[in-house]
Chains A and B, each alone.
Chain A
């Protein structure tokens, strides 16, 4: 059988917000672009984003501007962000939102008819452009329709709608190919038929999203298997700070039909209480010293807060996300959790069914329709769910070029640096747009100067052999069981609260699974065979898990999405350090690298007393770089 071959200027792997925005940019620079989706076109995980897209347009409060947004982003990331990414993001986000409107997006409006903006945790002013609770869908649909518009233009100009942008849906990339140290293309297979495909392209943009499926409880779909993280590692690129993962404290843990799905914070805001299996409202035991003035230490006062917020302290259920997650985790580890590893969140005892349905309509519907749980009558079982990975491919901020691999680019969740140790809600949708566009432009610029880089026959042979291998093994390991084992390990040992001994254990166990995964066998044929697909996804998740565990064991502090039970609290020394993962073909190595120093003009945007919380006295004395 002859190999299916395609030749493009730019190959975009991933068709979420970042991938599509990158494709549009590269096409508008006159290049021929292929877009690869693992699913159907328009199904990417971006559709799940509810809250909105953060951009300092100042439509609701005109005091907002890029500098305020930049400050908020750096605070949210506990100053571990790559300052240049946070700066570019804050500066360019408004243009990226307005551009969507030119392409047909319909955001909710203010009274003056401008794009409405809502408040969100960590943002000083109302900043999130939104469309009800389906902002992600609006974003992906607008990009999808923009691509169709460009294709229609190409149809008129070149007589072929797919002459310059073609979408390859339900295709998995298994290798990024290189010749002479530079990217030459990518190799993969059609999920539908299992037939192999070669893409020759001098530039490849990775926009594959997150890694949630590495964990047992996650809000991510099956696609979040860290493909881009692993492809980049294997191609010789680095990952930065893979220890930082965002866990949402209240994901559903039971029933399985909704495992991982988020229960919004407003359930607690409306009066939902957390209890353990002894019926104790345990959050009162977990109020940190610094919050004691703001949070009630008894049930009576906490209950009064809902009707009188001026004269009472807030209920401890409303502590910051990481505190709540830590408390739930401790209860479960102490044996006071449910058999499914969660605790109870109950709103039914405080509010009438009518009020619940009125104030939390989408939550009520979600649980009733997806899980058969009536939250007006019964408690939900919740626990921390893996939501977002801050770590990712180390890139050059202005061009999104992956450090160390000419021709490779990365944007969106798969890229690291932008969010530091913790992402603010609303910043991911604009991250996709800002850096998707920059990756498209960066790749276009690169292609114009580098020219073609043909793929060699030996590279093809190696990539093809890898795809065939699991079919040739008899009686090997089952990829579904290995995946489940990996998820148990990450959930129990590399999850929200970490300690040295558990991480050591995890590293050993992940290595063992990796060894066994080399012997995965697949039953059935190549045609749309999920067992076969999972065999490759598993390989990616194993590399991600190894990188996360090895980065986490090195960082001896607690910051943002990384909590060490044995090293509570932030340590300013560690703020100056990024963890860089690389892969030698056998295992992941993690080394320390100095975090780029905030330049003076950005340093000066902050009150020096605030910086003292994050920086050493020497850093403060220097006052940023020049």
Chain B
């Protein structure tokens, strides 16, 4: 059953690195992570790769396969033509640590910058009542497995290190959207801070993030665009603008 596969693996660290070709057995039904593991066990004992669940649920084995951001555990070897070399490289947007492992700490720093969920002070544990239809909007975003493929593919930061400081990225736009749409969250102005502090405005809706999401979360359509639209509403809607002036006048 086994056939040989040409696998081209990027090996190296933050100082230097290069693609290396290996020949490895591949069996029917195997995914790219399987053959990487076989290389590890038989030819390169110190080949670095992250993985955990091997079932598409933890989002650890993110890498670029033939240049496309993918989960290695969800990528069938058979989805590439037989005889074709498969090239695996580390995520490009994040600094390489070793081989296929990158430093994704950027994402954890951004996570710490998003204001947390704020529960109503007068709502005791067990007293919350929410309609299923209302929780579903946020639940879509809570499916996120934090594989950071959307962060990796986003061209705002993919080749623009300078934007990283002011741009939270798609993963955290859906986090803000999730909280914004949470039926109970009481923190105000999440959309406004998304725009002003987390770089929502830098996104120009190319939908690359949505395309690579292994959970099929509609990042652009259901999170980013609705937030942008409402930011626009509040900021530039002439009627609202007038309304705010009138109210302000009343307040004098």
Binding site for B on A (CB under 8 A): 39-43, 45, 47-48, 57, 94-95, 98-99, 101-104, 106-109, 112-114, 116, 131-132, 134, 137-138, 141, 145-146, 148-149, 151-152, 161, 167, 169, 192, 221-223, 254-258, 261, 366, 369-373, 478, 480, 522-525, 527-532
Contact = CB atoms under 8 A, between A and B. Distances in A.
A221 B115 CA distance: 32
Nearest to A220: B53
B142 interface: yes
A373 B76 CA distance: 11
B45 interface: yes
Nearest to A131: B139
A221 B52 contact: yes
Interface in B106-135: 108, 111-112, 114-117, 119, 123, 125-126, 128-132, 135
B135 A103 contact: no
B145 A112 contact: no
B29 A255 contact: yes
Interface in B157-190: 179, 182, 185
Given A43-B60, A161-B112, A57 B126 contact: yes
A63 B49 CA distance: 50
B146 interface: yes
B129 A532 contact: no
A369 B74 contact: yes
Contact of B54 (A95, A103, A141, A221): A221
B203 interface: no
Contact of B53 (A45, A94, A524): A45
A257 B56 CA distance: 12
B73 interface: yes
Contacts of A480: 40-41, 45
Contact of A372 (B45, B78, B123, B185): B78
B116 A104 contact: yes
B104 A40 contact: yes
Interface in B68-104: 73-74, 76, 78, 97-99, 101, 104
Return the 5 tightest CB-CB contacts between A and B, nearest first: A524-B46, A255-B29, A104-B117, A113-B129, A149-B116
A101 B53 contact: no
Contacts of B54: 221, 257, 261, 370
A141 B131 CA distance: 21
B145 A47 contact: yes
Given A99-B125, A106-B135, A148-B112, A40 B27 contact: no
A519 to B, nearest CB: 16
- Which of B99, B116, B135 gathers the greatest number of chain A CB atoms within 10 Å? B116
B53 A48 contact: yes
B192 interface: no
A530 B31 contact: no
A522 B45 contact: yes
B59 to A, nearest CB: 7
A372 B28 CA distance: 8
30 contacts: A40-B60, A48-B53, A48-B58, A95-B125, A101-B126, A103-B117, A104-B185, A106-B182, A109-B130, A114-B129, A132-B139, A192-B97, A221-B53, A222-B51, A255-B30, A257-B34, A366-B55, A369-B76, A372-B29, A478-B45, A480-B40, A522-B45, A523-B45, A524-B45, A527-B97, A528-B48, A530-B45, A530-B47, A531-B45, A532-B46
